[in-house]
Structure 1
């Protein structure tokens, strides 16, 4: 397990958060690990970042390189 998940479990163990909140935090941590492949060719030199959360918050960022 990664360090972030261990920290969430430690907070759960200490009673700082409940099991529902711990589950939500772990779900968000796992969702951030999904990597969207970036494609670039000579015509399009843009870094494209897409973040889609389970709560419906979607972010699209296009940065020219």
Structure 2
């Protein structure tokens, strides 16, 4: 760790280039650790890609007779949440259901790559909201 800090200090002072600093830092990393890290990164990326291809299903059945059934890949839901901050098909008119909490729960579960039921709510008015990953 101390050697790495010295290299970064030399870079900061302009005594070495960024390319040289990178080479020095790489040389300090044991080869076995580098190989293991590369494998772990590749495996993590593969698992993330598999999860991103899973489908998020959103089912809304309102007490007023509205029925919605949406099925989108995890990647699409993540992008929709990132851009709009809303889930598709979940109406803000559902009484007795706290949509902010649902959104927070969905985001947390997608970040944790949860599979199965994420949200399963039935209000006293008969509104039903289900979100799950399959």
Identify the structure with the greater helix proportion: 2
TM-score by length of 2: 0.23
TM-score by length of 1: 0.46
Larger radius of gyration: 2
